[in-house]
Structures are given as C-alpha cells and as structure tokens.
Amino acid sequence: MNTVGKSGFDGGMRNGGSQPKAILDAMTVKDEVLADKADNTVLVKYLRDANFPLIITIQSPWQLPTFADDVDTLKVYHAVTRTVIMTQEIVMGDEGKFPFDIEVPKSLIDVLGEGPNTFIFEVDHYNLDFSYSLDLTLIFDRVAPYNQTPPVKMPDITLVTDANKNTVELELPEYSDFRPGDRVAYWWQASIPEDPWSVPYVGFGEITALPQKLIVPAPVIDGVGDGGVMAVYVLLDKAGNNSPMSDITHIAVALGALPDNLKDPVVPMAADGLINQQDAHDGVVVQVLEFDNWKPTDQLRVTWGNYTSQWRPISDTGRFPQEFSIQASILFAEYGAATAGDKPTQVTYEVRRGTALVGDKSISVVVNLERIGPVDPGPDPEWPDPVNPRLEKVTITGDSGEENHLKDPDDEFEDATLALVVNSTLKENDELTFYWGDEHIQDIDHTVADGEPGVEITKTVSWDVIEARGNDTVPVHYRVQRPGNPNPIRSVNTDVLVEAVGIHPAKPEFLGLAANGWLNCSSIYEDAADREPAVRVQMEDLTQYGLTAGDSVTLHWSAVHGRTGEDPVDGADLDEPIVLDDTTKTGFVWKVPFETNVKQIYDPVNGKPDGRGRVKYSFTLNSRTYESEVQETVVSMHDGRDSCPLRPKP
C-alpha cells in the first residue's frame, strides 16, 4: 500500500493564484521493494546496493497533448528538499511510455534522512496550465538495531551438564530501539567466526517480547560438546538491517560422567620429606595420578605456591601419571631469595572440562633452598648447580714446588700440600670436605673455626691418595656443608696434572719350580708331551701399564754361577723382543731354550754344578723406557751325575 497525500507546496502560484485543474495519482513502487507494505518501509538493499535500484512509477498518463508541437513538461521531485530527480518533455503519442519508471539516484538516497521521504511529480501543460500529483511517502531505514554497535551479551547461565542440558535457555536482553518486526538469530559454537552467518545458527525468529527466552536444543549442545562454548546473537529489523554480532556470552559445558576419585598430587623429589637445592638441580616434577571418568580433552594445571601452570589437555601425552615440570627459577621465586629454613608450600592440581573446574587435589611439601657461601642478591646465574664459582679454588703443591703439577721423579712417593683461602662469607662450624677426583680425601675434613674466614689453611694429601688415582689430570674440589642446612655447595675444580706416579712393572714369575722353589730338571718340560726343553717364564697382563696390541716388550734372561757372587755364565744371556697382539697383551709364557741358554749353567769341571737364573722385561711407552724388577732363583740342572736328561725330539 502506497501512502499518498498533498505534498504541501502550492502549485497555484504558477498560474496567477488559480487552483490547478487536476490532482494526479501518486507514484507507486513495486511490492518487492517494500519490507512492510503497511507503512511503505523500503528494504535496505534498495537504499544501499547498486544492484537494486529504487524505482518509482507514474502508472497512468494525464491528458496528453493532441497537436503536434504541443509539449507538456514533467518534473519529478523529492518533496521536502525540492530536489529534481528528473525532467522529461511529453508530447502527443507518448501514451506508450506509461507506466513511466523513474530511478531515484543512489547519490540522492545517500543524502536523504532516515524516516519518511516523500516523492511527487508535477506537469507544466502546453496550455500554460499546471497539475501535480498526490504524495508517495516511503520509509527509509538504514540504521540497524543498536545503531551499528555490538549488542550487549546475553546473561550468563549456569554450568551445562548432562543433568540440565535438556532445559538450556539463553535470554535475549531488552534494547531501547526495539521495533515490531525485529528478529533475532543466535548461535552456540565452540568458536565464533568473524562472520557468524558462515556457520549454522541455533534459532531464528521474530522478537515478540523482551526479555525473550531462546531455547538451545540438547542435540546442539551434544554436537558442540564440552566448552568454553560461546553464544552470540544478531538483531535484524524489518528493513533488512543487521546489527553487528553481539558481545560473547561464555558458557561452561561439561558433558558425560564427571571426573571422580581424584588422588593427591605426587612430588617424587619430596619423598624424603624435603625439596632442596639438589632436587631443584635434578628436576622437580608434580605427578597427577589417574582418576575415574577422565576424557582425553579434559585439561589439567598445577599450582606450586603462587605459580600456576598453563592448562594442558590429557591428550598431550595420553597416559598417566601426567607430569608437570616445575622450573628451578619458579622454585627459587616461590621460596624467596631471602628466605631461610624450611618453608611449607602448597601443591595443587585442578581438572577442567571445557572451561568448568570439575575437581582438584592439594598437598603441602617442605622446601628448603637456603643458600650458603658467597651469593648474588638474586638467583645466582648458575643456581641450582651446587658448584659455586665464587668460592676460592684449592692449590696443590708437591716437593717440586710447581703449583697443581706433580712430577716424576721429584714428587713420586711424596705427600702433597693442599692450600685454600677460606671464603670470607663462610661461618664458624661450616664443614669442609675435600675430593681427589670423585674420591673423598679421608682424614683432612675441616671445621671452620672462629677467625678462619679469609685466612689460608693447608692440608696434607697423602701419597696413597695420589697413587690410587694414578697419572691423570685430576679435578680437585671441596664441598661446604652448614649444620642444619640441606644445601651443600662445592668449589670449581682445580685441575691437577699428575705425572708423578711412575710405572713399576712387577717381576715376571718362573713356572715349574720344584718344591724348594728352584729350577731343576723337572722344570724344563711343561707336560708329558712336551719335547722342547726350556725355562718357562709367566708374563703378566701388560695392558695395566698402558701397552696394547702392536707395542713391543723385550724379555731378558741371564745367569751366574754359584748361589752367591756374580760369576756370569758365558753364552747364557738372551734378549728377545716380542710384539704384542690381542692375545699376548694380557699375558703369555716366554720360553728360554734349555740347550742354548740354560744348560751351560751346569759346569762340574770347574766345580760349579749350580747357579742362579735371572729374568726381567722392559718396554718403551710415551718415549720413556720402563724396566721390571728382576726375578731370580737357583738353577740346578743335573741329576747328580750329568746334565738333565732330555727327551728325544720328533
């Protein structure tokens, strides 16, 4: 229905004050242009969209000219602004142009106000008479509800669970510019895109009364699942204006059987009753044990004192116990740089389904991170490493006088001196223990006495300690323990180059000795099948001295006549180099041939029936030659009448 009436301007002024001869029918618009035919509200797309022109129409012609050259002039106006939309000359025979369509330019629409806008036309007739139309009034409405600002969010609702999911209702709040014909669309989603229309809405309908209940069906709730669900709405007026998306209402949703039978959190490092600096160094974790009714999407977080971790879904690992590492910096911050002694600390884990807290458990653990010795005001850069670089290092000196270098032969078999300036921050009764490598140096523990901080002390490192470790670059350090404090510290290592432990190969052993420890005729054969007479010498495992396959060792045999004195046996000496292989490097038997190097010891003609055999070995390692001790025994190679009888050879 088109609204018509007089536009309010007086056309009579055009012809000397007389009334016009005709009042013409108002222009019309098509029904499709209107959002509401009752009041002629125009759909907003005809006001804004270039693809939808606003057409007003003069349906029927007036009495047109009937003679050639007679001309009527048609003018179409916006009544209030008197803006001419179109001027057209109409002549005889133009009846076919009717209905006559006129497009209202978008440029004009853009400057016209909201609400009623009236359009008329007038005709200047060829006979100098004048006619005008009744009004066509259209309602322009380009302002969305809430005047282009986001509507307020819907009120919060309680946690949605299986127990109440069949009765969930949102509430559309009142708004000041409500008009009959307004509609609402609303959404229930895990996340809302910038354009809510890109995902399905839950409901769409006319607003009848405010506030208005908006039902969310249970299948929709099940489909979206646990949340963090977001609910929004959009208002639409009858002209087709959409409000922006409303502010978001966040709704906690926790479906299914809820977590149950939660266990206390576990801190393995606190099993001994205390979290100390060493625990912080090794790594502190909080464990969450398995509970009933958990879902992979359930989330956990841990609180240590005032620190709270990020939420983490169980599916991150998918197994129990769930472990949360507590960084050393967090432990230190929660304990406090200036704190001393034991400090109880609350440890809690929480379970969340969606955004709903559905359980928690807490315990208290005792923490003692009290620092001793020289420290920075804040956390030391190296903390919680027990090595404190601010402690003075030890100095080791031997008889050679060279610091931190023990040399052969000057320092071999000699004790060394350990010197230390006691750090000035240490206190009386602090306990110092010293370590040669990883071995505690016994008997030199030291308790700091009054007046000792800042003073040098000395201790003796026995040769037994040095020899036990052997030649090496030995890290030497000390540790500081304060009575009642569970956090010992230690110094930086002093690297001591030890080259004082000489290699002293043990003497080889003779095999086949008689009961009196002599070599006699029974000694020259290994067993009944042996046909090569020899003095047999057992060589030890040579790898203990650093020898390996490919290295060479030389064996030395010599003999003297008699049981005393030094009367060499001519022709008896034997020096034989042996190249070691993977078998012989760990020990072997060397045979001194009887007939060429042993038999001549027996010299009855000169009254020398017995003598002494000697064996040793030597080798070179790292450009230095080492020689074993000499093994010596009596050699009595005769049967009382003659030299030892020999078995026939094959």
Q: pLDDT for 141-161, tens place per residue?
A: 888 888 879 999 999 999 999
Contact 226, 255 (CB under 8 A): yes
Examine residue 648 and state whether it is found in any structural domain, yes or no: no
**Any domain includes 343:** yes
- DSSP class of 242: B
Q: Do both 249 and 283 map to the same domain?
A: no
Q: Do 244 and 311 fall within a single domain? A: no
CATH code of the domain in which 86 resides: 2.60.40.10
pLDDT of residue 273: 95
In a domain, 418, yes or no: yes
Q: Are residues 161 and 95 in the same domain?
A: no
Asked whether residue 498 carries a pLDDT value surpassing 50, the answer given is yes
- Residue 127 and residue 180 in one domain: no
Residue with tokens 């209202």: 104
Instruction: Tell me the average pLDDT across 102-109.
Output: 94
Could you tell me if residue 302 is inside a domain? yes
Is 459 found in the same domain as 400?
yes
Give the DSSP H or E segment for 219.
Answer: helix 218-224
Instruction: Answer yes or no: pTM beyond 0.85.
Output: no
| Helices and strands in the chain: count of H runs, count of E runs | 7, 43
Residue-level pLDDT at 200: 94
Question: Which of 437, 472, 499 is the last residue before a domain boundary?
Answer: 499
Among 253-267, 369-383, 461-475, the minimum mean pLDDT is found in 369-383
Decide if 360 is inside a domain: yes
Give domain status of residue 594, yes or no: yes
Instruction: Tell me the C-alpha distance between 141 and 158, whole Å.
Output: 38
Q: Are residues 514 and 625 in the same domain?
A: yes
Domain assignment of residue 216, yes or no: yes
Tell me which residue range forms the domain holding 447.
Answer: 395-499
Asked if 241 and 369 count as a contact pair (C-beta separation under 8 A), the reply is: no
Domain membership flag for residue 244: yes
Please check whether residues 132 and 157 belong to one and the same domain: no
Three-state DSSP class for residue 145: helix
The pLDDT score that the predictor gives to residue 16 is: 40
Tokens 């009595």 map to which residue? 636
* Residue at 73: amino acid letter: T
Tokens of 40: 């002629």
pLDDT in tens, 511-523: 999 999 999 999 9
Q: Does residue 539 sit in the same domain as residue 621?
A: yes
CB 341 within 8 Å of CB 357: no
- Residue of 56, 38, 33, 34 whose CA lies nearest to 108: 56
Q: Which of 467, 499, 531 is the endpoint of a domain?
A: 499
Judge whether 560 and 601 are in contact, CB under 8 Å. Answer: no
Q: Same domain, yes or no, for 403 and 432?
A: yes
- Report pLDDT digits (tens) over 247-294: 999 999 999 999 999 999 999 999 999 999 999 999 999 999 999 999
CB of 258 within 8 A of CB of 226?
A: no
Q: How far is CA 19 from CA 10, 14, 131, 648, in A?
A: 9, 9, 9, 168
Read off the pLDDT of each residue in 422-446 and give the average, rounded to a whole number: 97
> In this structure, are residues 104 and 120 in contact, taking their beta carbons and an 8 Å threshold?
no
pLDDT at 351 over 80: yes
Are 351 and 449 contained in the same domain? no
- Nearest 5°: the CA angle 64, 69, 73 is 50
Q: What angle do CA 572, 575, 576 make, to 5 degrees?
A: 125
For 648, counting Cβ atoms within 10 Å of its Cβ (0-12 exposed, 13-18 middle, 19+ buried), the class is exposed
CATH number of the domain to which 341 belongs: 2.60.40
Q: Is the domain of 156 the same as that of 249? A: yes
Residues linked to residue 122 through DSSP beta bridges, in sequence order: 75, 132
What per-residue confidence (pLDDT) applies to 300?
Answer: 98
CA 343 to chain centroid, in Å, comes to 28
Q: Which of 475, 499, 523 is the last residue of a domain?
A: 499
Do residues 465 and 519 both lie within one domain? no
pLDDT digits (tens, 9 = 90+) for 32-91: 999 888 889 998 899 989 999 999 999 999 999 999 999 999 999 999 999 999 999 999
The region of weakest confidence among 147-151, 414-418, 641-645 is 147-151
The chain-wide mean pLDDT, for the chain, equals: 93
**What percent of the chain clears pLDDT 70, i.e. is strictly above it?**
97
User: How many domains does the chain divide into?
Assistant: 5
